[in-house]
């Protein structure tokens, strides 16, 4: 069922305006800075940085911005900000679990913005550990479908550690252990198959189904959370059935 949820959320995001695009650029740049700081500024020896750059390029972030972020993060220009990763947990209306990943230089600002988004949109924050157990850290590689079948893709990535492939409408999503994400991505590259992104994410182990009203409320809360500059990723276990996803698409 994950495909329907993803599809609806992606369609929802595609309808977003330029302000969102600016925020997305900022988040992708932040990813690059942190990856360069942790693993060094050379993408050839730092797979996390390689994938952060790849994702930014796929989202049309200008090369100059990418280069500057690598230099800042790698300490090559003497600048840069020290970001801390924070995880917050909570529930959207209808009992949908949310995991909110922040990358921030100001913890107080981050938590107050997250709390405000939850309270203004009918959700509530939860104690640490009360939601996290519903998710597991996985390697996620997404790629455009093109003219290859699921079986053809699986043949390429199976020996690299791929566990399953999900059809997400326009794309395939390959799941693996988080530690195998680089091997899976490399197998695709060696086979000449283009991919959109490769990264470790929190994937739900069980999902909560919603109706149309519930889906609207969940997406509104996710939007409000993503609107914060400190929020890097929002993971949910929402399950949006196909008929509801179709209705959402009509409303855009």
Contact 92, 224 (CB under 8 A): no
Q: Which two tokens stand for residue 181?
A: 């994400």
Contact 154, 162 (CB under 8 A): yes
Same fold, 2-73 and 84-133+206-246: no
Q: Identify the burial level of 204 via C-beta atoms within 10 angstroms of its C-beta, where 0-12 means exposed, 13-18 middle and 19 or more buried.
A: buried
What CATH number labels 84-133+206-246?
Answer: 3.30.70.980
| Full-model pTM | 0.87
| Mean pLDDT to the nearest integer, 230-244 | 92
Closest by alpha carbon to 170, among 1, 3, 2?
Answer: 3
> Percentage of the chain with pLDDT > 90?
76
CATH 3.40.50.2300 fits 2-73, yes or no: no
Contact 64, 92 (CB under 8 A): no
Q: Beta strands 84-92 and 208-209: pairing type?
A: unpaired
Higher pLDDT, 16 or 214: 214
Domain boundaries, given as residue ranges, for the chain: 2-73, 84-133+206-246, 135-204
| Mean pLDDT to the nearest integer, 102-119 | 96
What confidence tens digit (pLDDT) does each residue in 152-164 have? 999 999 999 999 9
What confidence tens digit (pLDDT) does each residue in 206-218 have? 999 999 999 999 9
Alpha carbons within 13 angstroms on the beta-carbon side of residue 92 total 28
What CATH number labels 135-204?
Answer: 3.30.70.980
| Mean pLDDT to the nearest integer, 62-72 | 94
What confidence tens digit (pLDDT) does each residue in 172-226 have? 999 999 999 999 999 999 999 999 999 999 999 999 999 999 999 999 999 999 9
């Amino acid at each position: 069922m994950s495909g329907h949820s993803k599809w609806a959320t992606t369609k929802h995001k595609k309808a977003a305006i330029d302000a969102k695009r600016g925020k997305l650029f900022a988040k992708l740049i932040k990813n690059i800075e942190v990856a360069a700081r942790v693993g060094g500024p050379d993408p050839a020896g730092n797979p996390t940085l390689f994938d952060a750059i790849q994702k930014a390029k796929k989202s049309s972030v200008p090369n100059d911005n990418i280069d500057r972020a690598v230099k800042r993060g790698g300490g090559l220009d003497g600048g840069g900000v020290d970001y801390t990763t924070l995880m917050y947990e909570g529930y959207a209306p209808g009992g949908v679990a949310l995991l909110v990943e922040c990358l921030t230089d100001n913890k107080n600002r981050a938590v107050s913005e997250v709390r405000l988004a939850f309270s203004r949109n009918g959700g509530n924050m939860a104690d640490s550990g009360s939601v996290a157990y519903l998710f597991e850290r996985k390697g996620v590689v997404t790629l455009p479908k093109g003219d290859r079948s699921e079986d053809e893709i699986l043949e390429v990535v199976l020996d690299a550690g791929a566990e399953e492939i999900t059809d997400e409408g326009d794309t395939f999503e390959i799941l693996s252990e988080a530690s195998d994400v680089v091997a899976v991505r490399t197998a695709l590259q060696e086979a000449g198959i283009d991919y959109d992104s490769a990264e470790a994410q929190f994937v739900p182990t069980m999902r909560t189904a919603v109706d149309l009203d519930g889906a609207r409320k969940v997406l509104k809360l996710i939007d409000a959370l993503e609107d914060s500059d400190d929020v890097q990723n929002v993971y949910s276990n929402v399950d949006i059935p196909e008929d509801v996803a179709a209705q959402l698409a009509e409303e855009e």
